[in-house]
Amino acid sequence: MSLIFACGYLCQGVVQHFCLIAQPLNNYLKAGLHLDAAQVAFCVSLLMLPWVIKPIYGIVSDQRRFTRAGSKRKRFLIGIHLAAAAFYAALALFLFLLPAILPPGSLWPVLILIALAGVCIAFVTVIFVAMTVEQSHLDPGGSTRSFFGEQALAYSLANMAAVYCGGLLCAALPPARALAMGLVSAACVLLVASLFYARLLPASSATQPPLEPLAATDSETLLAKLKRLASSRAYVLTLLFLTLWNLSPSLGVSLYYFECDKLHFSQGTIGQLAACTSAGTLLGSLVFRITSGFFQKRRSTYLLIALSVATTLSYTALSTPLSGAVIEFCRGLITMVATLAIYGLAADVSPREVSATAMAVQIAVFNLAQEGSFALGGFLYARVFHKELLPLIVVSSLTTLLTAILVPYLGRSGCKQGDYREQVL
């Protein structure tokens, strides 16, 4: 199973729209379509919609009609990877056939095709998260956090190479061609992953423990389970914490514009800084594997908040590629540790019988807040703070600091799945 997870997350580290094609897409929207930071941030937030509707994928998965263990899961994973590859290839063909700088009317085909590929890729992440929760039940001595750490390690390795290559594409090619080449590369990775799944995924579920399926007509049973989930104090408070944590205005798109326009960094340099972030996430995943026991304790959340605020404030010292490399490496490390710890909190309050749905709802809330964060950060930078990064840094830091208010009210992060009924209000 570890080999399957490694293959899946190596693929995810390349093909998601905020990986290999992230910088080519930003560069295309900025230099190719001449959009400002607020407009680009809005476009990026729209591309998060496939990740926001993850509960729908979770319900489909929990109903076991297409995506639960066995040959159906195998065929579905292969098919959905091929579909995502087809959407990326279609968009690449679209970009190759048109001039390097396209009229504004070409924006929507780009967003729609990337979003359709995103639906496929986001569905895959839900299936893998459900497989992680299932595997943690098969191995009583194991830890869900340990599985998340292994997946983050594979993701970070792939992402470090992917974002670096994205910067090279932007430095070497016109905006439209750079994006098209990134899309072709991502489509090839999806095809290769499909071949691996054909060989690695088991054709049967003989090793899985018996798990009563939720039939398509048994909507009343599913509804009852979801109502019980919604009445869990620990689950609801975790959702609220996830929302506040990720709602702080994002520096992402604004930082890209600041580095291009104010600091005059080259596209190659920006790609190298993104690779430094990924190197930090790689180390963060290793650090988390070693210290995961500490992050089961509530007081560790205060430390994560303090470190996250300090990392955001460190952008006030950004002035040279060297300072940027140090800051981005630290940001990647802290962000990865914090994300894995928060995913651990989410997994702890997700019951096995609706594991995909429960985790999908929490991750969807996380992504919905992130969507708002992208749009809000770009709007504040371009329209309110007049392209000054310092006020955005201050607002983002204060918003993250506010999450400390919720920490005393979080349920026990180390609770077991068997305690789920005891958490219900």
Q: What is the CATH number of the domain that holds 91?
A: 1.20.1250.20
- Confidence (pLDDT) at 185: 96
- How far is 394 from 62, CA to CA, in rounded Å? 42
- Confidence (pLDDT) at 208: 46
Q: What total of structural domains would you count in the chain?
A: 1
- Confidence (pLDDT) at 147: 65
Residue 237 lies in a domain: yes
- Tell me the residue range of the domain where 407 lies: 2-204+228-417
Buried b (16+ CB within 10 A) or exposed e, 46-71: bbbbbbbbbbbbbbbbbbbebbbbee
Residue 209 lies in a domain: no
- Confidence (pLDDT) at 411: 55
Rounded average pLDDT per 10-residue block, the chain, 425 residues: 80 92 94 90 90 76 58 82 96 78 68 94 83 62 60 84 94 93 96 88 51 45 70 80 86 94 95 94 86 76 93 96 96 89 74 66 79 91 94 95 85 42 34
Residue 69 lies in a domain: yes
Residue 422 lies in a domain: no
Residue 217 lies in a domain: no
Residue 218 lies in a domain: no
- Confidence (pLDDT) at 71: 64
Residue 212 lies in a domain: no
- Confidence (pLDDT) at 102: 52
Instruction: Give CA separation, 343 vs 136, 226, 230, 288, in Å.
Output: 14, 20, 18, 12
Residue 210 lies in a domain: no
- Confidence (pLDDT) at 64: 55
Tell me the β-bridge partners of 424: 232
